[in-house]
């Protein structure tokens, strides 16, 4: 198996002034209720050197190498006919700080469990989130993961023109269904992973418990940054029905029905983003961040009130149900 993340550079080399106490921070927050499975980061996993040999992926006529895939200043475009022309900030970023948006978030905006899907986000919402990252109104809990470090470093160097160009590009992309949600008590045994879960090469199973494990179907396809990579998200038995009740009715006062703001099919409304079909790991992180006040910009006050009474079991159920919907 190849690298278990493309963000290979040591945290100490990219921290750029941010905290580097990832392991200690994770342990400290565990007593504070941090769902560590949603903030996965294991810096001890060894990543093999990248090869320069060209690779072909099924369904694409393009060829790229692992070395190119490790370059965060180039967005690998496996399906150039599937999207409009990329702005330079999406395709290449700007050295030394601003990574190519399409590199981490993928050319078609599909993202992954370690970051956000950007396809179809309203322009105004996109612009506001970058502003919140810049101002510190949106921060990220858990260990100092490379995905977090790169994002915080990149937004510092973005100009208003960069932000607008990226926002308009991603807003014009169609959201894709790349996640299959499965209720189960046991899951394939997980292997060593840095930012997201993979199956153990030894096989076997393990208990899921009260967590969501979003597992890649083809690890190399995702790590080579193909937007068509798919996931299977394992969720606790009964979570879909419970999540549906909470999302549709508010669960007798536990929360507010999601469709009031996110639209009747949870596909967004005006400047409010779609949540249907999004990564359940990402959704879980955001619910947690809203509840603890780590997201305090824009309309965050409304979301904080909405999630204030939710238990983490409730959050898991909502994330599971929302992820199971057609985007």
Strand ranges for the chain from DSSP E: 55-56, 63-64, 179-183, 186-188, 205-207, 213-216, 231-235
Which contiguous run of DSSP H or E holds residue 292? helix 280-292
Residue 6 confidence (pLDDT) above 90: no
pLDDT digits (tens, 9 = 90+) for 187-224: 999 998 889 999 999 999 999 999 999 999 999 999 99
pTM beyond 0.75: yes
Residue 1 lies in a domain: no
Classify residue 260 by its DSSP letter.
H
Residue 49 lies in a domain: yes
pLDDT digits (tens, 9 = 90+) for 144-187: 999 999 999 999 999 999 999 999 999 999 999 999 999 999 99
Residue 148 lies in a domain: yes
Question: Angle of helix 300-307 relative to helix 280-292, nearest 10 degrees?
Answer: 100
237 close to 248: Cβ distance less than 8 angstroms: no
Residue 235 lies in a domain: yes
Number of domains in the chain: 1
Residue 4 lies in a domain: no
Residue 31 confidence (pLDDT) above 70: no
Residue 261 lies in a domain: yes
143 close to 194: Cβ distance less than 8 angstroms: no
pLDDT digits (tens, 9 = 90+) for 269-300: 999 999 999 999 999 999 999 999 999 987 89
For residues 289, 293, 294, 297, the Cα torsion angle rounded to the nearest 10 degrees is 110
In the chain, pLDDT over 90 holds for what percent of residues?
A: 86
The boundaries of the domain holding residue 24 are: 11-324
Residue 41 lies in a domain: yes
Give 310: exposed, middle or buried? Use CB within 10 Å, 0-12, 13-18, 19+. buried
Q: How far apart are the first and last CA of the chain?
A: 31
| pLDDT at res. 32 | 52
Give 62: exposed, middle or buried? Use CB within 10 Å, 0-12, 13-18, 19+. middle
Q: Return the SS3 of 231.
A: strand
Residue 202 lies in a domain: yes
């Amino acid at each position: 198996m190849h690298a278990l993340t493309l963000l290979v550079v040591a945290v100490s080399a990219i921290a750029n002034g941010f905290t580097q106490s990832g392991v200690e921070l994770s342990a400290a927050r565990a007593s504070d209720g941090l769902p560590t499975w949603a903030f996965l980061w294991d810096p001890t996993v060894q990543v093999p050197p990248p090869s320069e040999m060209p690779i072909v992926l099924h369904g694409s006529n393009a060829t790229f190498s692992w070395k190119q895939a490790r370059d965060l200043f180039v967005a690998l475009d496996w399906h150039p006919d599937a999207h409009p022309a990329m702005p330079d900030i999406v395709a290449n970023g700007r050295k030394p700080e601003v990574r190519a948006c399409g590199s981490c978030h993928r050319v078609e905006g599909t993202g992954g469990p370690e970051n956000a899907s950007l396809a179809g986000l309203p322009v105004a919402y996109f612009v506001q989130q970058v502003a919140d990252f810049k101002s510190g109104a949106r921060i990220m809990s858990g260990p100092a993961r490379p995905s977090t470090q790169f994002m915080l470093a990149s937004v510092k160097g973005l100009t208003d023109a960069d932000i607008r160009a990226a926002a308009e590009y991603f807003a014009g992309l169609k959201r894709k269904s790349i996640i299959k949600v499965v209720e189960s008590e046991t899951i394939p045994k997980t292997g060593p992973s840095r930012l997201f879960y993979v199956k153990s090469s030894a096989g076997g199973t393990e208990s899921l418990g009260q967590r969501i494990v979003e597992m890649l179907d083809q690890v190399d396809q995702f790590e080579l940054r193909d937007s068509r990579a798919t996931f299977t998200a394992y969720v606790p038995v009964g979570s879909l029905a419970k999540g549906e009740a909470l999302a549709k009715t508010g669960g007798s006062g536990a929360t507010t029905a999601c469709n009031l703001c996110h639209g009747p099919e949870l596909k967004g409304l005006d400047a409010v983003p779609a949540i249907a079909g999004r990564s359940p790991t990402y959704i879980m992180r955001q619910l947690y961040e809203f509840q603890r006040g780590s997201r305090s910009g824009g309309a965050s006050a409304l979301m904080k009130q909405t999630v204030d009474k939710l238990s983490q079991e409730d959050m898991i159920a909502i994330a599971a149900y929302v992820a199971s919907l057609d985007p």
